[in-house]
Structure 1
Amino acid sequence: MFAGLDLDLWGVHRSAVAAAIGAHNAALAETAAVELSLTTGVAQLYYSMQASYQMLDLLEQTRDVIDYAVKAHQSKVAHGLEAQVPFHGARAQILAVDKQIAAVKGQITETRESLRALIGAGASDMPEIKPVALPRVQTGIPATLSYELLARRPDLQAMRWYVQASLDQVDSARALFYPSFDIKAFFGLDAIHLDTLFKKTSRQFNFIPGLKLPLFDGGRLNANLEGTRAASNMMIERYNQSVLNAVRDVAVNGTRLQTLNDEREMQAEHVEATRFTQRAAEAAYQRGLTSRLQATEARLPVLAEEMSLLMLDSRRVIQSIQLMKSLGGGYQAAPVVEKK
């Protein structure tokens, strides 16, 4: 048996293999991009649900305060100490809060179902989600947004690998212009034949077993090379646009998060101001300078401002998740192996 040795002196096969590896890595990066979108969606739904739990707690506290007011006004009306207007006003408030509570409970159910569908859990497989505090949000974005940060984005990595594959395809198409031959095909030729081998005419070259001179098929190869180059240039253009879009994505999400952080600081001051008023009302009640009803109702502005603060915190968490997604979410790409 004779061993065949097809020399790849010009890198035809090497470039083709490199292009295939690039396409494979691009597919892996695209899979990571889908996984990133999935985990981002799960995180956003989960923390939206946690925010709803906290909103429900604040609404129930509000209802307790108003319920006390309803009973206090009802007692005054029964003793002829007050007209019925405050009583009915408090009743209207408690009905409005009950409506909000029902809406939030419905929202929790809808979010749970959306989360169940996203993770593919069955009706009986969905784990119980207990209320937890919202996570602390990091403020802003890094002072310098280098490509090393954006390089974690799997969508950019997929585009980069497609570009790498297209460049390797260009190399492979270019290498097709060079001759190829199989050494085994020359084993049967004696010295005389080998001596006269390259004295043949150009039309006879491609009829020599194991020898191929594609220079005489230049028209088709040129068309193939130009088409491959055009596809590669188009892929490079798409990659450049993807990088610009990624930079814009990070900048927009970072700016939105910073705006929410600023709003949160101002809202926290509002909460503190209402708490000061509540503490003052409680102190006045302890000294006998005001009624218990007035001291209790002083909690309502605090709860209202805390709800506004909660909504801002929820938006900040969701926006920070979106920012992490735009930065790649910690995805690590496969290294580029330099061709030798």
Structure 2
Amino acid sequence: MKKITWLALTCITALLGACADMGNIKPQSRQMDANTLDGGKQLASSSAAIAAQWPQLEWWHAYGDPQLDMLIATALADNPSLHIAEARVRQAQAFAGMAESATLPTVGASTSMTRQLFSEHDFIPPPEAGNYAWYNRVAVEATYDLDLWGKQRQALAAALDEVKVAAAESQMARLALENNIVRSYVQLSLQFALKDIVEDTLSHREKSLHVMRQRLAAGLATEVDVTQLEAAVPPLHMQIEQHEESITLLRNQLAALTGKGRAAGEKIALPTLALNSNTWLQLPTSLPADLIGRRPDVAARRWGVEVAAKKIEVAKASFYPNINLMAFVGFQSIGFSRFLNSESAIRGIGPAISLPIFDGGRLRSNLGAHTAEYDIAVESYNGTLIHALENVASTLIVAQSLQQQKNLNDGALATAGRARMLASKGFAAGMTDFLVLLNSEVALLTQQQQQAQITARMMESHAALMLALGGGYSPEQVESSAAATSSQTQNTRGKQP
């Protein structure tokens, strides 16, 4: 028994010594630690005041618009791009099932019936030697890769991580779709608001024109005065038409995003968006480290690094001997008379060993390619992490600036409104020149448009910040997806042929 053990160890040592040389191929990139990134004073001050919560999965409910909720629900059910992303998750799950099957025994059946001329100088004796006869074989065969170096296990682990990558990318597609709908919807709300402002200005201007015509009839004004007021009306009609065009285009865009035709866009009514709280301007206290788990793009790149690392291990395992255990049982005979008799039974078991020794550098090139792939994945992760932190900081700076702009514009808007009211009263009483009235209307129109635009930009900033923070994404979503894939493939073990 000891001789057999020493013989086995000697054989294994010899096999390992004869393996192809890996060379000095190693990864060159290093994965960045998110905790070492300094978010700067802006992020520090924004997260220190209030321990804000991470976004909820249905973050757009903060706008309080049921129509927006319905549009996003429809898009999540019918958008083709999202369906493509979901199909890629299912594809990755199927590949994981294929990878797991390589770690399990395979059993198959084969049969062959061949009429052939047997050689007179082979191991087949007369009367078959030198004559035609049937050579028949039926057997059940089993093979099992012992996977002594973990090649199949690492391939399976990489495939399961690919499921996580696909699930995170699917969430990226979902979040991008939600964000695009919100932004388009905000722009639709803005166009409605601008159109209302211009219509209100037009209404006041037409009233002023009516008063001026009455003065002309009474001999208190000239044709020049009336003509100047009349010339100020058509540009307002043109602005209204431009806003109508934008409204129609945005409705069509929203219909396309929800996976519907133009008729669905025509049914979209006036938005009723409102952000009643400014707490979203504060950040969670756990930045930037939690961005690794909270942003689907960062999570996808991180799992991409894990996939690349496991593929390196698969490439390294290819340098070692591949040992499969093979077994068969069945019947084999010449002719049919004794084909299924017990005397024709066959059975056997043994290892099949393949050993890489010299392959022209193919294995080293394969290892080098996967090592470079790992370096690419690491640098992609590092770049995505840096961009994520910069994205959060930039979005927050814009949002906080817009809040200050709104506060400043509130005072200017109130002053402009009071100026037009006084000018309107003075013009109606004949105490104010019509140019003063026109100037007051232009000033108010400008302030109202700025107010509407600032409000829209603040809502867009809210959507951008939700996107930057991951939009309610949770790593548990992809963990459960990968676990479901593993469970599904395990349930198919008993169903293999």
- Same fold, TM exceeding 0.5? yes
Question: Which aligned pairs between 1:187-202 and structure 2 lie closer than 5 A?
Answer: none
Query: 2:353 aligns to what?
Result: 212
Q: TM-score, normalised by structure 2?
A: 0.55
1:101 to partner: Cα distance = 0.8
Counterparts in 2 of 1:82 and 1:21: CA distance versus 1, 3 Å: same
Query: 1:244 aligns to what?
Result: 386
**1:289 and 1:69 mapped to 2: Cα distance?**
11
Which shifted more, 97-106 or 243-252?
A: 243-252
1:47 paired residue among 178, 186, 189: 186
Query: Once superposed, what is the RMSD of the aligned Cα atoms?
Result: 3.6
Query: 2:376 aligns to what?
Result: 234
The structure with the largest helix share of the pair is: 1
Which shifted more, 234-243 or 211-220?
A: 211-220
2:228 paired residue among 58, 72, 89: 89
Summarize deviations over 1:43-94 as a string: whole Å, max 9, x none: 2111101111111111111111101100000000101012233322221222
The one-letter code sitting in structure 2 at the alignment partner of 1:227 is A
The one-letter code sitting in structure 2 at the alignment partner of 1:210 is P
1:122 paired residue among 248, 261, 283: 261
* Aligned residues of 1:282 and 1:295 also touching (Cα < 8 A): no
**2:354 and 2:165 mapped to 1: Cα distance?**
34
**1:23 and 1:99 mapped to 2: Cα distance?**
54
How many residue pairs get matched? 316
The structure with the largest strand share of the pair is: 2
Query: 1:132 aligns to what?
Result: 271
The one-letter code sitting in structure 1 at the alignment partner of 2:351 is G
* Aligned residues of 2:185 and 2:271 also touching (Cα < 8 A): no
The one-letter code sitting in structure 1 at the alignment partner of 2:479 is P
**2:457 and 2:393 mapped to 1: Cα distance?**
17
Question: Which aligned pairs between 1:278-297 and structure 2 lie closer than 5 A?
Answer: none
Which shifted more, 77-86 or 31-40?
A: 31-40
Alignment pair present for 1:146 and 2:146:
no
**1:118 and 1:132 mapped to 2: Cα distance?**
17
Alignment pair present for 1:335 and 2:479:
yes
* Aligned residues of 2:191 and 2:243 also touching (Cα < 8 A): yes
Query: 2:403 aligns to what?
Result: 261
Unaligned runs of 5+ in 2: 1-139, 330-348, 484-497
1:211 to partner: Cα distance = 4.6
Percent of paired sites with the same residue = 26
Q: Is the partner of 1:74 in helix, strand or coil?
A: helix
The one-letter code sitting in structure 2 at the alignment partner of 1:102 is E
Query: 1:109 aligns to what?
Result: 248
Unaligned runs of 5+ in 1: 188-207
Query: 2:158 aligns to what?
Result: 19
Alignment pair present for 1:168 and 2:310:
yes
Q: TM-score, normalised by structure 1?
A: 0.78
Query: 2:449 aligns to what?
Result: 307
**1:125 and 1:306 mapped to 2: Cα distance?**
31
Query: 1:99 aligns to what?
Result: 238
Query: 2:467 aligns to what?
Result: 325
Q: Is the partner of 2:228 in helix, strand or coil?
A: helix
Q: Is the partner of 1:210 in helix, strand or coil?
A: strand
* Aligned residues of 2:165 and 2:299 also touching (Cα < 8 A): yes
Q: Which has the larger radius of gyration?
A: 2
1:281 to partner: Cα distance = 6.7
Counterparts in 2 of 1:128 and 1:97: CA distance versus 1, 3 Å: same
**1:140 and 1:75 mapped to 2: Cα distance?**
53
Which shifted more, 15-24 or 1-10?
A: 1-10
* Aligned residues of 2:301 and 2:381 also touching (Cα < 8 A): yes
**2:272 and 2:262 mapped to 1: Cα distance?**
26
Alignment pair present for 1:63 and 2:205:
no
